[in-house]
């Protein structure tokens, strides 16, 4: 009688199949295979980020402060060069020296100087706890600058370890004319509006404008007063920075001003009075009218440049040579 074949025949398995399965299992060793592949789970190994040690955290803050202070150290250096007149052996004026030595235009070195003062003020107004140990040691002599009560008030707006400082001159340009406490308050508000990050010059300028409108700072400018335009991040005034203008209309928070080539409405924060005497203001009005009559875009470039240079005078008169050239242009151009 023949033996009955077994109902559990073993399926032959080739070596190739074994190797294939082995490789597959190796490649998917983190996949738990269940009867239903759709329910397979993938195990992802978490990568642990190493926390900074106290020493590393201190080093980081110290280096960040160095980066923040870099541009403002330039302002301090320029201030010393100017105040000690260390340029006098090669140049007659500080402006000429800065242009030849650093390529700075006339207003830029003064902006850096003003910005460095603001930066120092922001450093002093915030709690000492925001500084690193190294800074605390090197600036221990400044301890007396914190009046009693100031630190507690400032800590409410600037918690220890969270101080955000400016990184460029443009960011503090809108607050250089404010009092130290106002500078600090405006900067903290701007940081808040920027989500705890370094605010842009536009954000800082907006905060200043809202404060001016809320406090209703009186407009003290008068008709006929001669002022200088401070462009201060206002794209509408691009190219007009440093130009003198004459107030033709006094508004609540702005002035309408006349220049030698048009009229503009300018916010109070973009104007600075020359404090000229009434006779000097009248003389500047005459010069403005004379330039307006001869200036046009059709003139030769050299003539245009000359007239534009007269539009940036920081004195209430023309030199003899300027008077002669302007008079010649009037004879040539005015019919």
DSSP 266-313: EEGGGEEE----HHHHHHHHHHHHHHHHH--TTS-HHHHHHHHHHTT-
**244 close to 314: Cβ distance less than 8 angstroms:** yes
Question: Is residue 280 packed enough to be buried (19+ CB in 10 Å), middle (13-18) or exposed (0-12)?
Answer: middle
- Please tell me the distance from the alpha carbon of residue 41 to that of residue 330, in angstroms, as a whole number: 88
Q: Are strands 271-273 and 262-267 parallel, antiparallel or unpaired?
A: unpaired
What the block records as the tokens of 93 is 């004026």
pLDDT tens, N- to C-terminus, the chain (335 residues): 445 544 444 444 444 444 444 444 444 444 444 456 556 666 656 666 678 888 888 888 778 777 767 778 888 898 888 888 888 888 888 888 898 998 888 778 888 888 888 888 888 876 543 443 334 333 433 333 233 344 444 444 444 334 788 888 888 888 887 778 888 888 999 999 888 888 988 899 888 888 776 766 677 899 999 999 988 666 667 778 889 999 998 887 788 999 888 888 888 888 889 989 999 999 999 999 999 888 876 788 888 889 989 988 989 999 999 999 999 999 988 87
Beta strand ranges found along 191-237 (DSSP E): 226-229
Describe the crossing of helices 180-193 and 201-215 by its angle, rounded to 10 degrees.
Answer: 120
- Cα gap 235→124, rounded to integer Å: 32
pLDDT at 41: 67
Q: What is the DSSP letter of 265?
A: E
d(C-alpha 283, C-alpha 293), whole Å: 16
Per-residue pLDDT, 24: 47
pLDDT of residue 244: 93
The rounded distance, in Å, linking the Cα atoms of 268 and 281 is 19
Q: What is the pLDDT of residue 141?
A: 33
Predicted TM-score (pTM) of this structure: 0.44
């Amino acid at each position: 009688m023949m033996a009955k074949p077994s109902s559990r025949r073993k399926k032959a398995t080739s070596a190739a199949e074994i190797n294939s399965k082995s490789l597959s299992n190796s490649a998917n060793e983190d996949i738990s295979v269940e009867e239903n592949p759709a329910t397979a789970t993938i195990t992802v190994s978490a990568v642990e980020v190493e926390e900074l040690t106290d020493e590393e955290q201190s080093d980081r803050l110290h280096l960040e402060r160095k980066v923040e202070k870099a541009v403002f150290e330039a302002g301090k250096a320029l201030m010393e060069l100017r105040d000690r007149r260390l340029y006098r052996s090669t140049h007659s004026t500080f402006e000429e020296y800065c242009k030849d030595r650093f390529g700075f235009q006339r207003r830029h070195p003064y902006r850096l100087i003003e910005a460095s003062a603001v930066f120092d003020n922001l450093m002093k107004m915030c709690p000492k706890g925001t500084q690193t140990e190294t800074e605390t040691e090197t600036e221990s002599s400044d301890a007396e600058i914190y009046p009693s009560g100031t630190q507690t008030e400032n800590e409410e707006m600037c918690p220890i370890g969270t101080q955000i400082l400016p990184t460029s001159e443009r960011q503090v340009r809108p607050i250089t004319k404010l009092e130290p406490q106002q500078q600090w308050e405006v900067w903290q508000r701007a940081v808040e509006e920027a989500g705890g990050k370094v605010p842009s010059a536009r954000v800082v300028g907006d905060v200043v404008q809202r404060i001016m409108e809320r406090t209703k700072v009186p407009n003290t400018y008068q008709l006929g007063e001669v002022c200088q335009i401070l462009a201060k991040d206002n794209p509408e005034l691009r190219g007009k920075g440093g130009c003198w203008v004459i107030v033709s209309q006094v508004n609540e928070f702005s002035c309408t001003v006349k220049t030698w080539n048009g009229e503009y409405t300018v916010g109070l924060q973009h104007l600075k009075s020359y404090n000229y005497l009434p006779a000097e203001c009248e003389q500047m009005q005459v010069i403005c009218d004379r330039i307006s009559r001869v200036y046009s875009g059709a003139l030769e470039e050299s003539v245009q440049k000359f007239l534009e240079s007269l539009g940036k005078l920081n004195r209430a008169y023309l030199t003899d040579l300027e008077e002669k050239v302007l008079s010649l242009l009037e004879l040539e151009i005015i019919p």
